[in-house]
Amino acid sequence: MKKVVEIESLHFSYPDGTVALGGISLSVHEGEKVALVGPNGAGKSTFLLHLNGIFHGNGSVRIDRLLVEKGTMKAIRQKVGLVFQNPDDQLFCPTVFEDVAFGPQNLGLEPDEIQRRVEESLRAVGMEAAARKSPFRLSFGEKKKVSIATVLALRPSILVIDEPTANLDPRGRNSIISLLGELGGTQIIATHDLALARELCSRTIVLDAGQKVADGATAVILEDKSLLEAHGLI
């Protein structure tokens, strides 16, 4: 299978000197669904932000063999769709339609194509009826779905999602898990929700203190209680 994400010796420190990533190397194959788990402060969100060039550390990040660097940002951000943990960080337009249309408009697409992408993306997440609503009047779970739609409208080959079920009630959580299962494709999901990892992801990577401490089949990782306890996961 083709490798679509290749990370080699990725290091990153914040301006105050805090080491967030301490030399991570890994690859993800096309079509894989990978859970990224670990305690708070493990480096999960920092890692995700390197996949579409928001953060740049030392080491190399390649997406579909393309090196993530200043000159490749436009191409990288069409390949990698990043969904933030808090949908309010992703939604800022007066209507849901405008939020989902924002990315395609920035690609310079024709109005008919923009319309088609918005309709298809909202339909994919079950939010087509909300197109003319203000995103700020939606429930938290509905905002999560619209955030995913804003990314789907760019037609990424890799979906990167930070804590998709955080702060959701059981109905909203189940709806998001079902949606991600239906979407298919390559997905990298940072989560504290081990049940989500078990249900959606065939592979799980454990991060702690900026290090990759385990990487394997989800069923095996989640049965290793001593590993989970050692890294604050149970």
Give 121-139 as a DSSP string: HHHHTT-GGGTTS-GGGS-
For residue 37, the number of C-alpha atoms closer than 13 Å in the C-beta half-sphere is: 30
How many Å apart are CA 50 and CA 61, to the nearest integer?
A: 7
Query: Given this model, what pLDDT does residue 126 score?
Result: 95
Query: Given this model, what pLDDT does residue 51 score?
Result: 98
φ and ψ at residue 146, rounded to 5 degrees: -65, -35
CATH class of residue range 3-230? alpha beta
Tokens of 63: 């997406």
How many Å apart are CA 178 and CA 80, to the nearest integer?
A: 21
Query: Given this model, what pLDDT does residue 37 score?
Result: 98
Low-confidence stretches of the chain (pLDDT beneath 50): none
How many Å apart are CA 28 and CA 136, to the nearest integer?
A: 35
Query: Given this model, what pLDDT does residue 1 score?
Result: 83
Q: Identity (one letter) of the amino acid at 8?
A: E
Q: Domain map of the chain by residue range?
A: 3-230
Query: Given this model, what pLDDT does residue 184 score?
Result: 84
How many Å apart are CA 205 and CA 66, to the nearest integer?
A: 23
CA nearest to 52, candidates 153, 151, 147: 151
How many Å apart are CA 12 and CA 57, to the nearest integer?
A: 5
Tokens of 65: 């063999």
Q: In what order do the strands lie in the sheet with 203-208?
A: 80-83, 158-162, 186-190, 33-37, 203-208, 211-217
